[in-house]
Amino acid sequence: MILCRRIDSPVGPLMLAAGDDGLRHIEFRENRHPADRSDWHGGDSPVLQAAEAQLREYFAGERRAFDLPLAPRGTPFQLQVWQALAGIPYGSTVSYAQLAQAVGNPEAMRAVGAANGRNPLPIVLPCHRVIGADGALVGFGGGLPVKQQLLRLEGALPGEQGGLF
């Protein structure tokens, strides 16, 4: 059984869903690829409680990495891309080309972009840290304003890194 709960956040309401094996989904109000919720039931679990607490710490600027049991479902390639997302440090960004390189398939930028767009655990698996080669904010399932807000929170918004002038 998948248990879910809605939480409020600075980027709008988030729906968290977890099974016995770990956190399965974090969904924004507007989600480009919403999950099938037919087997979701409102409830609570230690995983949902931990996810909510860690997300609150993240939004408060007190957490840079998540320590949660994760159980995303996807193809082997998607899982490989999502695992690579976990390696992008807080406050950093990478391009789709760099992410394709990280998964050992430098020619697969579009496939990496598609897998990135289907990430069921945004924020925790930080797909918001993937940007265009030219620094443009492109492709985010929760919408570009949310991506911008997350990058700003981390001090990683292209063009906004402080300087002398």
The string of pLDDT tens digits covering residues 77-117 is: 999 999 999 999 999 999 999 999 999 999 999 999 999 99
Catalytic residues: 127
CB atoms within 10 A of CB 57: 13
pTM, whole model, 2 decimals? 0.91
Chain centroid to Cα 24, Å, comes to: 12
Question: In the chain, what percentage of residues exceed pLDDT 70?
Answer: 96
Tell me the three state secondary structure of residue 83.
helix
| Domains annotated on the chain, with CATH | 2-59 (3.30.160), 76-154 (1.10.10.10)
